[in-house]
Structure 1
């Protein structure tokens, strides 16, 4: 091993400025020259621009059949706050903006709220109807018993109203709205509510009947009819309020408004008359008199 002068290594070395500048210039020029010559000599060289990473990727669009369960999954993707907000707006429409239906419901209708409101109303009518029947026959000589058929009757009436009436209204709007030009046809398609949005709107319109069904147990004839008028008017007014832009473009604008209000009034009157005011005789069994024989034994 050779001897190394450590003192010489620890001392600063002086280099001339000419040597430093020339060495650095040679190195830089050599690097750039080599890169340029390699890129020009390679015929397959392609310049690639840097790609900007996308922040959000587009969600894949899935086309499912109308008869599959996956098709209806998007109609149950709703937050609890949205359901509560739509219930409040179905009773008090002044709490939201006039374009609330076009901005929040027609673009993203849901079936979660309407189904649960319908089911809640069915069991509320069944329980309250039997309570009203019991109160109506408490002082009579009859043997009262619970009528389980009210559940099936109420379910048939409610689900038929929620699904059949919106379907008929959707067909009426499609048939009665006439557009003369292509622009008006596009405007018609934008203003006409979809079938699912009508199902959603009619389902939420029944929310007011849940508390009213409890109040119908009060056995006061004029008060029961007052609840019928108030519930039908409020619920029907909400429907007309949301659907007014589409109804105005129909040739049968007054007829459609009358049908909406009339069917709502018939629904409320039917609930009160059949389930609360005049209960059926299915849950009432007259008491048979006990006949005692006074004949003396032979």
Structure 2
């Protein structure tokens, strides 16, 4: 038999850390297993399900009321380059793409440009109209005075035109567009412009009247009428150009086109005749008085 060193058997031996961790894990697992088995064997044991903490859900985004100011904030969120681009497209539509109205204006209408264009046109007409009145009375022995009522009259005419006419056109297109074999709702949604897009389009269409209002100060009758025809034709043609896909779907295509051009012509004519045109002086016939001599 081989001799066994009793000294080595009595000495303590070191074990590696891995061995210690493993044995510790085994012991802990064994303790938990024994506790679980003993608790299940106990008839008085009641199992409690773990409570799940629910995270608070994000509040759904609600649309603001039509009568609140926050509802109109999105219509004033527009960049300067977009406003300039829309002003150019209202005079020169060939500078932008053919689908510019459907891609830019119809999808994202704004009221920032129309509001400032309308305000600028009101004050331009007021100032230019008074200058034209001053030029008309230069060689007359009449004391000239500034007419402040021009501002209120011009504001009433422009605001009514920009809001009432697009609203009437929107209602006409909504009730006269005929479906072309597709679902009626889908057809009207894709072809009929929205109310806000028409407000935006009509507001930008008045931009050409700002330089024309300055040119109307020239006191030449035929030249004033030439500017009327030019402004009405350009502005009305741009409106028809952008709204042509929707107008073609209407049962009253010719009537709607005639109304758009006619109302634009009446607006330009009213501006020129009321604020810039000088009516001809009426020559009064001399009164003939007969004197009877007493006989």
Fold match (TM-score > 0.5): yes
- 1:207 deviates by 0.4
Q: CA deviation at 1:198?
A: 0.5
Deviation at 1:63, TM superposition (A): 3.3
Which one has more relative contact order, counting CA pairs under 8 Å at least 6 apart? 1
Q: Show structure 2 runs of 5+ residues with no match.
A: 1-15, 32-39, 41-46, 51-57, 282-295
CA contact (8 A) 2:232 2:261 kept: yes
> Secondary structure at 1:135's aligned position in 2?
helix
- Deviation at 1:212? 0.6
For residue 261 of structure 1, report the CA deviation from its aligned partner.
Answer: 0.6
Cα shift at 1:185: 3.0
1:58 Cα deviation from its structure 2 partner: 11
Inter-partner Cα distance in structure 1 for 2:180 and 2:251: 13
Alpha-carbon distance change, 138 to 58 in structure 1, aligned in 2, over 3 angstroms: farther
1:31/1:182 CA distance change after superposition, 3 Å: farther
Q: Secondary structure at the match of 2:268?
A: helix
Structure 2 partner of 1:10:
none
Q: Residue 122 of structure 1 aligns with which residue?
A: 122
Alignment RMSD, CA only? 3.4
State whether structure 2 residue 185 is matched by structure 1 residue 185.
yes
1:143 aligned counterpart, secondary structure: coil
Alignment partner, residue 257 of structure 1: 257
What SS class does the counterpart of residue 183 from structure 2 fall into? helix
For 2:245 and 2:181, how far apart are their aligned partners in 1? 19
**Do the aligned partners of residues 25 and 75 (structure 1) sit closer, same or farther apart at CA in structure 2, a change above 3 Å counting?**
same
Partner of 2:73: 73
In the comparison of the two structures, how many residue pairs are matched?
261
Q: Is the 8 A contact 1:274 1:280 kept in 2?
A: no
**Does residue 1:231 correspond to 2:231, yes or no?**
yes
Judged with a 3 Å threshold, the aligned counterparts in structure 2 of structure 1 residues 43 and 26 are, in CA distance, closer, same or farther, namely farther
Which structure 2 residues correspond to residues 1-298 of structure 1 after superposition, within 5 A?
60-64=61-65, 66-179=66-179, 183-278=183-278
Distance in 2 (alpha carbons) for counterparts of 1:149 and 1:279 = 19
Q: Could you tell me how far 1:62 is from its partner in structure 2?
A: 2.9
Change (3 A) 1:59 1:273: farther
- Determine the C-alpha separation between the residues in 1 that align with 2:20 and 2:219: 108
1:288 corresponds in structure 2 to none
Residue 20 (structure 1) shift: 11
Q: TM-score, normalised by structure 2?
A: 0.75
- List per-residue Cα deviations over 1:2-60 (Å, max 9, x = no partner): xxxxxxxxxxxxxxxxx9999999999999999xxxxxx99979xxxxxxxxxxx9993
Distance 2:155 2:270 in 1: 13
| Cα distance in structure 1, aligned partners of 2:259 and 2:135 | 34
The offset of 1:191, in angstroms, is 1.4
Larger radius of gyration: 2
Deviation at 1:184, TM superposition (A): 3.9
Task: Tell me, yes or no, if the aligned pair for 1:133 and 1:279 is still in contact at 8 Å.
Answer: no
User: How far apart are residue 278 of structure 1 and its match?
Assistant: 2.8
Kept after mapping to 2: 8 A contact 1:125/1:275: yes
Partner of 1:5: none
